[in-house]
Structure 1
C-alpha cells in the first residue's frame, strides 16, 4: 500500500471496507436474525456488495496492482459457498412427457390501488398467465378482483383476510387438490398455505409462502425521507418476524411425507437465514436450470431475487424462467419439473 498514490490509498481503503462487509454477509445465512438482527440487514445488500467488489477487482487488475487479490479472494469464497450471483450458462430446456409447469407470482393485489398508472393491468396479468399456461400457479397478495377470471384452472385453494379489502395467498391447479390448509402467522396478514395435488399416481405437496414484507420503496426520494436508524431498526424487526414465521412453517413441513414443491415471496435474498432454512436439502430451481440474475423484484438499484421455487430432489428440474413483465412490483417466475 506504500507504493500507491494518495487517491489509490483512499480507493483501497474503501475496497477493504466493502470486501469485509461482503465477507461478513457470507456468514449471515448461519446467524439467526433474532440474535443478529442488525447484521441481517446486510442480506439485502449482498448483490450490491458483490458487484462493487467485481468493479474493484477489475480496477486493480487493469492497473496491474496486486490489490486485486483482496476482492478476488472474497468473490471466490462467495462463489464456492453460494454459487454465482449471475448464471452465465444457458437455461436448461428438457422436454419430457411427464413435464409439468409451476409458476410463482406476487401480483400486488392485481394493481388494485393503481400503483402502476396504466389501465387493465389485472387483465394483462390474467392474459400472461393464460399464455404461459402453468399447471400449478402460486400467487401472493391475491385479491378476488371483479375483473379477474382464473376459472381456466380446474381447482383452487385460497386463504384470504382483511375486512374491507380481501387479500391473501392462493394456489391454482389443473390437477386435483385433495387436501389444503393454512399456516397462520400471528399479528400479520402474511401466511403460508398448502395444497396436496394428485398428479398421476403421485401426491405432491405444494406450499405457497409469503414472509413478512420489508416495506422498502425502490424510489430514491422515499428512502431519503426515512431516518436511517429507524429504517435499520424496522428491517431488523421484520427479519426477526421472518425467522419466527419460518420456524412455524418448518414445524408444519416436518410432518409432510409427500414430495414437495415450495413457492413463495420470502422478502429476503438467497444469502439469508430464512432462505437457507426453508430450502433445506431441496433444489433451488433457478440454480438448477436458470440463467442471468434471476431478478424477481422491481428494485431500481441492483438485481434482487426474493421469490423462489424449490423442488424436492426426486424431481428433475427441466426448465426455469424469470419474466420481465412489469405488471406488479414483482416479476413472475416459472419452472418445469418432471417426476420419472
Structure 2
C-alpha cells in the first residue's frame, strides 16, 4: 500500500509541475487542462496517506506527503480565480439597468455529429443575437440554413477539415473579413456589428488547432493565433468580443497572457469554471470554449447548455454595453509583450 502511495504521489507531483515548464510540446501543454482533477487526486492521495498513519512513515514518505500538501494548495491557488469566492472580472449588469445589450452563443457542433435537431431546438429556444458554430461542414451549413431567416446577416465558411465556421447575426454586419492568421486551412472571422442602439461592436471568431498528436504536436500555432488576435484587440480599443473554441483553458499561461496583451476580460473569473469539454466524460471536463469581452461590457448572464450530441457543451452569454463601469483588466509588462511577439513570430 505504501509503495503504491509513493508512486501515486510522485506522479501527481510531476503532473502538477509539468505545466510550469514553458515548452510548447503537447506533452507539457496537455497538463494545463485538468487543474481541478489534479486537486481532486491530491486530496484523495492525502486521505490515503492519513489513513495509512504516520507510524510507518520514512523520510521519503514525509517529503512526499508534504509535497502533495503543497501541490494541493498550489492547485487551489490556481483554481481560486475560477470560483465564486474570487472577485468577478466582469461585473454584473444588475437589475433595472437600461443599456444596449448583445447576446451570443458558441457551439462546437462536432463535425461528425448528425443530431442536427438538438442544435436547432436549442438555438431556436435561446435565440441569441450572434451565433457561432464551429466544426461545420457543408451538411451542417445546409441544416442550419433556416437561421438565415431570423439571422439575416451571416458569414459561412463550411469546411471538411473540422475547422469550418458558421456565423449568424440578427444585428447588421457593417463589415467583415475572413482571415487565415496562421494556417491557410484554419479560418477566423473579424466582423463589425451594429447594435440596435447604434453602437458598434467588433467580434473576432477563432478556432485554433489544439496541441495533441493527432492535430498538432505543439501549441505554437494555437498560442500564436490567440495572441495575434489579442494584439489586434488592443489596437482597436473599442467594444470588442472574442469568441470560439480556443482549444485552451482559461487558466493557462497563454490565456492569461492573452488577457494581458488584449486588455480583455474573462466572465468566468469569479463565477465558476463553466466547463464545455468533454461532454461525454464527466471526469475529464474543462473550459475550452470562450467568450471574452472588453472592459466596456457588464454581464447579464452566462450559461452552459445541455449536450447536443457533440463532445462540447454549448455556451452562451448576454452582455450590456456600459462604458462607465468599474471592470479592471490585466496589464502586460514589457517582458510579457516581448514574449507574446516571440510566440507570434514562432507560429508564423
TM normalised by structure 2 equals 0.73
* TM-superposed deviation, 1:128: 0.8
Task: Describe the superposition over 1:149-187 as per-residue Cα deviations: whole angstroms up to 9, x where unpaired.
Answer: 11244443325264x799722332222221211221454
Q: 1:284 aligns with which of 244, 266, 274?
A: 266
Q: Counterparts in 2 of 1:1-340, with a 5 A limit?
A: 7-25=1-19, 27=20, 31=22, 33=24, 38-61=27-50, 69-83=66-80, 94-95=94-95, 96-98=97-99, 99-109=101-111, 113=112, 115=113, 121-143=115-137, 145-148=141-144, 149-160=146-157, 162=159, 168-199=164-195, 200-213=197-210, 231=213, 237-280=217-260, 281-289=263-271, 291=272, 293-298=274-279, 300=281, 301-340=283-322
SS in 2 for 1:286: coil
Q: Deviations over 1:25-81 (max 9, x none)?
A: 2x25xx362xx5542232244443232113223334556657765333223223334
> Residue 288 of structure 1 contacts residue 317 of structure 1 at CA under 8 Å; is this kept in 2?
no
1:208 shift after superposition? 0.9
Which residue of 1 is the match for residue 329 of structure 2? none
SS of the equivalent of 2:307 reads: coil
Tell me, yes or no, if the aligned pair for 1:183 and 1:248 is still in contact at 8 Å.
no
Counterpart Cα distance in 2 of 1:264 and 1:88: 26
- Name the Cα RMSD after superposition: 3.3
State the alpha-carbon separation in 1 of the partners of residues 161 and 26 from structure 2: 32
User: 1:165 and 1:74 mapped to 2: Cα distance?
Assistant: 39
Cα deviation for residue 299 of structure 1 reads 5.1
Could you tell me whether the CA contact under 8 Å between 1:296 and 1:332 is conserved in 2?
no
User: Are residues 320 and 288 of structure 1, via their aligned partners in 2, closer, same or farther at CA, if it must alter by over 3 Å?
Assistant: farther
8 A contact 2:108–2:310 mirrored in 1: yes
Q: Deviations over 1:76-122 (max 9, x none)?
A: 22333452666589x9794444343221111234xxx4x45xxxx21
- Mapped to 2, the partners of 1:325 and 1:334 lie a distance apart of 13
Distance 1:37 1:307 in 2: 19
Contact 1:293 1:303 in 2 (8 A): no
Q: Is the 8 A contact 1:160 1:166 kept in 2?
A: no
Q: Compute the displacement of 1:271 (Å).
A: 3.8
Quote the offset at 1:286 in angstroms: 2.2
The residue that corresponds to 1:223 in the other structure is: none
* Distance of 1:265 and 1:292 partners within structure 2: 15
CA 1:255–1:170 in structure 2 vs 1: closer, same or farther (change >3 Å)? Answer: farther
Q: Quick one: structure 1 residues 150 and 75, their matched pair in 2 at CA, closer, same or farther if it must change by over 3 Å?
A: same
**Helix, strand or coil: the match of 1:139?**
strand
Label 1:59 to 1:86 Cα distance change in 2 as closer, same or farther (>3 A). farther
- Which runs of 5 or more residues in structure 1 are unaligned? 1-6, 217-230
Gaps of 5+ in 2: 55-61, 323-348
- Normalising by structure 1, we get a TM-score of 0.74
Aligned-partner SS, 2:107: strand
